[in-house]
Amino acid sequence: MMMTRRQFLSRSVLCGTAAWLAGSMPGKLLAGTTQGKPLGIQLYMVLQAYQSDPMSTLKTLKAIGYGEIEAIVTSTARTLRDQLNDAGLGCPSLHFDSLGIEPGIEAAHVLGTQYIVSSMLPAFMQKMNGNDKGQPTYSRDDAKRTAAFANQIGEKAKKAGLQYAYHNHYREFTDVGQGQTFYDVLLKDTDPNLVKFELDCGWVHVGGKNPIDLFKANPGRIPLMHAKDFLPTHAPDEHPGTELGRGTLDYKPILAAAHQAGLKHCFVEQEGPYTRMSQLDAARVDYAYLRPLR
């Protein structure tokens, strides 16, 4: 059974650095697009297919219509770069949690990405402090510490010619008092020049907030987004993923607000389990739903 994205990230944080650095060489990816704003996909979504047959998977994504990949750790940076070049896919963004910050920056240079993104920064911080047990907490003090650390990452990224962005899950929308959520504190306490955001719209909805409101309230802060949806459920800790257009979110107004707020890249990412169809078939459904809305 495929592990959830959160399980994958929590198991891989701070691991795999040597594999990425080995064989790394500077280079740039092909643009891989025919329009100004191509649709992208998070590599995690098709991870099983990619690990089984990398080139066939990437070429299939290109044939579906995707122009960009958001990378995660799968092999060496040079290997992934060459595969993406061969498939004609761009790679503007990299999730670095399983590498570490400095190795993530090195990998981003190899891949030619512009953005380095933390998938689960509170968990990353917890593991950096030697605590790999239990879930991170999301208090006001936690939010302030997270914001301070995000600024540090942003400064390192800026010095390396990159842009750091924070990716959310749903617990960032926990109420921390004074009429604010954890996410509100992050927005307020981070330097807009150092810290941007990748809004995972599906997790925003699970957290009880509206992605449209966040885009409208934060123009210029959210250049990246994940298009994701979930099936309705009454279980508070169960969030079964589903194909876009088959869950609870209408992405037409979300995308309109996102583009108005300065969106640069949109990545499809579906959570498992894949019980209705394969990962690649789900990628086809997601593209068919989202492309006309662009």
Residue range 192-249, pLDDT digits in tens: 999 999 999 999 999 999 999 999 999 999 999 999 999 988 777 889 999 999 999 9
Task: Give the span between the Cα atoms of 10 and 16, in whole angstroms.
Answer: 13
pLDDT tens digit string along 92-104? 999 999 999 999 9
DSSP secondary structure letters along 236-255: TT---EE-TTSSS--HHHHH
Average pLDDT of span 152-159:
98
Q: 7 pLDDT band (50/70/90 cuts)?
A: low
Query: Comparing 124 with 235, which gets the higher pLDDT?
Result: 124
pTM of structure: 0.88
Instruction: State the residue for tokens 């950096």.
Output: 128
Residue 4 CB neighbours (<10 A): 14
Q: Strand, coil or helix: what is 176? A: strand
